[in-house]
Structure 1
Amino acid sequence: MIKAGNERDRYLRCEGSGVFFAKKGSIVAMRPGNAKIEGSIFGSAGGNLLSNAFQSKKREIMGAKVELMQVEINDGYALLADEARYVFGVNLQANEILCLHQSENLLAYYNCDLDARGRGVTETVIGEDGLFKTVLIGKGNGSWVACLATGNPYSLRPPITVDPDAVVAWKGNEKPRIETAHNTMKGWLKKSVGKGSGESYFLRFDSPQTQVYIQPYEV
């Protein structure tokens, strides 16, 4: 089993024995020992881990390419980071869903399925660049996803209405509703939420079982 933990807000430490997937080039350090990254085997004399031995696997998800590498460690650990962004983890139960707004917000995951069909997401949901591209489904038995945020992430429980461009991800099977500024509190949100007064629609979450993660930055 691979366990993951946040280190100093901007690092992800993955340790144990098993296989997980990570964003291409995100490993910044590894404990000496046996490790397998996309078919390249590294032992104590395996050479420079930061060489061009890192190979990537490309997956097409909802029209966006997500470059991942498969990492296998044996009683060791790997330290991951990405452009000094904040890192936070989300644990998933069997069949529990995590939807990410941007595929670039995915740092790593363990024991989850990627769903290219966007199960659990309404076709109309999204930011200016399209659908919530990356959907992960937990398999249970320690499933987790590590996400990236620009700025310190904040976790919210519904009922809540949020600016879609500030959303990093949400956990749960809820399909959020789209509300326009005109039908939400008589336009109050148009003046009070989002960048200036230009926001015209928002995402409404109502289920108390849903967890919404936002960042202090709008894509």
Structure 2
Amino acid sequence: MTNYTVNEFLEQTKQSDHSEEKFGLERGRILIANLEDDKIWAKTGSMIAYHGDIKFEREGITEHGIGKLLKSKLTGEEMELMKAQGTGQAYFAEDGKKISIIDLKGESITVNSNDLLAFEDGLDWDVHSMKSIAGAVSGGLFNVKIEGEGMVAITTHYDPLTFKVSKDKPIYTDPDTTVAWSGNLNPDINTDVSFKTFIGRESGESIQMKFEGEGFVVVQPYEEIYYNTVSNQ
């Protein structure tokens, strides 16, 4: 059915009740945050609606310290944070991307700065540079490691796919499709020269991220171009 009366349209598109959860999802692409005189952190510009007494402010130097602020600025607009504080419900989204909520129970996760949508205030976080691949690619070198107790919302183009990494089974991924990985893993760079030679031109697949150890890595079925090859070596 493509035509609706007003009442039918309102019934089909009405919001769901997620009042009992800190984070909830609406149709898989809208994040709902319930605030009760507290605050969360979200990507600047991602709020699409709210009700209640909530204020939205950009991250300041005093919020997380000047070191984190400077490092987040180095990642570009993708990592600018805002604080949502007060009482009510706030709704967040980004470019219609699918949202996944991960509830950390003392674990840690590293998320590409471009794919982090929101997280609870009580979590510890820091921005890290991927030094191991800095010599091979530029842009998208910054990631956010988050750990502790609380919820994190990440975004992906379409449905995410998770691979288990084990000592006897390393996983190789395209940097442009890599979204997140378990915080204990430290990816390295792998250069497939023979593949590049076979194609006969510079190819994104000639540079891969290599994950070794015990953990997981999350990818999306979409190449989000924030890694750019700057070396043919």
Aligned residue runs from structure 1 range 47-86, under 5 A: 56-57=58-59, 59-61=69-71, 63-65=74-76, 66-74=79-87, 76-86=88-98
Look up the equivalent residue of 2:75 and give its one-letter code.
Answer: A
Inter-partner Cα distance in structure 1 for 2:138 and 2:177: 13
Q: Secondary structure at the match of 2:117?
A: strand
Q: CA deviation at 1:114?
A: 3.1
Q: CA deviation at 1:202?
A: 1.4
Aligned residue runs from structure 1 range 96-115, under 5 A: 96-100=108-112, 103-110=113-120, 111-115=122-126
Aligned residue runs from structure 1 range 157-172, under 5 A: 157-158=164-165, 159-172=170-183
Matched, 1:202 2:204: no
- Pairwise CA RMSD of aligned residues? 3.1
Change (3 A) 1:207 1:81: same
Q: Which residues of structure 1 form unaligned runs of 5+?
A: 39-55
Q: CA deviation at 1:90?
A: 2.4
User: Which structure has the larger Rg over C-alpha atoms?
Assistant: 2
State the match for 2:12 in structure 1: none
User: Is the 1:160–1:204 Cα contact (8 Å) retained in structure 2?
Assistant: yes
Q: CA deviation at 1:86?
A: 1.6
Inter-partner Cα distance in structure 2 for 1:11 and 1:21: 15
User: Is the 1:2–1:19 Cα contact (8 Å) retained in structure 2?
Assistant: no
State the match for 2:53 in structure 1: 34
Q: CA deviation at 1:6?
A: 2.6
Number of residue pairs aligned between Structure 1 and Structure 2? 186
In proportion to residue count, which structure has more helix?
2
Q: CA deviation at 1:180?
A: 2.2
Q: Secondary structure at the match of 1:139?
A: strand
Change (3 A) 1:191 1:216: farther
Look up the equivalent residue of 1:57 and give its one-letter code.
Answer: E
Q: Secondary structure at the match of 1:199?
A: helix
State the match for 1:50 in structure 2: none
Q: Secondary structure at the match of 2:25?
A: strand
TM-score, L = length of structure 1: 0.70
Change (3 A) 1:160 1:189: farther
Q: 1:1-59 CA deviation, whole Å, 9 max, x = no partner? A: 9721232121111124221011122111223x222322xxxxxxxxxxxxxxxxx2373
Inter-partner Cα distance in structure 1 for 2:95 and 2:102: 20
Look up the equivalent residue of 1:26 and give its one-letter code.
Answer: S
Q: CA deviation at 1:207?
A: 2.9
Matched, 1:12 2:31: yes
State the match for 1:123 in structure 2: 131
Q: Secondary structure at the match of 2:28?
A: coil
Change (3 A) 1:196 1:125: closer
Inter-partner Cα distance in structure 1 for 2:184 and 2:178: 16
State the match for 2:147 in structure 1: 138
Q: Which residues of structure 2 form unaligned runs of 5+?
A: 1-19, 61-68, 226-233
Look up the equivalent residue of 2:101 and give its one-letter code.
Answer: G
